[in-house]
Amino acid sequence: MEALQAHPSRQLEEMERMGSLYRPGGLVFANETGRIINPSNLRNRSFKSLLRRAELPDIRFHDLRHTCATLLLSRNVNPKIVSEMLGHSSIAITLDTHWHVLPNMQQSAVRALEGVLR
């Protein structure tokens, strides 16, 4: 949270440092000139080196989306909300992709129903 809260002021410093070379485009995360970050550079230069530094396994950047969805669904976040957060066109895509979390959700639903019926 601290890093995200400090980000706008760091970005302003970057804008001032780059002067007229910086092209603000309203991006939250931009390259040094304000343009969109090249996805290949993000994966290969930044993400991979962060994984190595943290001594984490080599995963695909896209795996972070799956992890996020799985964590949210396992915490009983409404699948419709998760689907919207991921930008899926339908809840069916989310549920088809993350079906492995559903057995735990079913157990939670049974416990909730038992609690209501007692």
How is the chain split into domains, by residue range?
2-53, 63-117
**Which SS3 state, helix, strand or coil, does residue 54 take?**
coil
- The one-character DSSP state at 46 is I
Residues 6 or more apart whose CB falls under 8 angstroms from that of 43 comprise 61
* pTM of the full structure: 0.59
* Residue 83 confidence (pLDDT): 94
Q: What is the DSSP letter of 47?
A: I
> How does pLDDT run along the chain (118 residues), one tens digit per residue?
888 899 889 888 988 999 999 988 888 888 888 888 888 888 888 899 999 999 999 999 889 988 999 899 888 898 999 999 999 999 999 988 887 776 767 777 888 899 999 8
Contact (CB, 8 A) for 81 and 88: no
| Residues 82-92 pLDDT 10s | 999 999 999 99
